[in-house]
Amino acid sequence: MNTVCQPPSSQYAREANLPPAIYPVYAPYKRPMSAPHVNGLLEALKQDYQDFPKNQTYSLYAADVQFRDPLNAFQGVEPYQRMIAFIERWFMNVSMDLHDIRQEDNQILTQWTLSWQAPLPWRPHIAISGRSELTLNAQGLIQSHIDYWNCSRWQVIKQLFGSGERGHS
């Protein structure tokens, strides 16, 4: 039976030789953003999560955005667009459930569950719960987007064969 992808234990993280949990990308932007801009940005992001992977608002991202998740690390909005297009093309019934979104200074923090059906004959359902840290630049654009999963890559692979953990955290 598949259950929730939980955060890896400290013991697991040490044994798996995982990289540090924090990837500093840019110095923080300290000047507070105006409320209308922040509210508009948060609303646009909520809509993007609801529509994911279709109709994403790439104009919210700086051209040289830094992206990192447990599988990918790259710079630029174009590689980010290609990654989203890959998800849209190859996975079925993709859903991104947004559980929480909030702003703290120059960061927007989200909690979510991404799920899809893998394009295999037995159509396994995969789910990854996690969180994102979006850092804004001085222009109010997303300068870095770092995703953290509440499960290991191995737990995700095991879901393909019905023995992994999945679901909401």
80 vs 86: CA distance, rounded Å: 10
Q: Is 122 exposed, middle or buried (0-12, 13-18, 19+ CB in 10 A)?
A: exposed
Give the residue-averaged pLDDT of 39-65. 95
Q: For residue 66, which amino acid is it?
A: Q
pTM score of the predicted model: 0.74
Q: Would you list the domain boundaries of the chain? A: 34-159
Residue 9 pLDDT greater than 80, yes or no? no
Fold adopted by 34-159: Nuclear Transport Factor 2; Chain: A, (3.10.450)
> pLDDT per residue over 74-114, tens digit each?
999 999 999 999 999 999 999 999 999 999 999 999 999 99
Q: Which tokens belong to 123?
A: 């159509």
State how far Cα 104 lies from the chain centre: 18
Count Cβ neighbours within 10 Å for each residue of 78-99 and write b for 16 or more, e otherwise: eebeebbeeeeeebeebebebe
- Specify the pLDDT at position 106: 95
pLDDT, one tens digit per residue, over 109-133 is 999 999 999 999 999 999 999 999 9
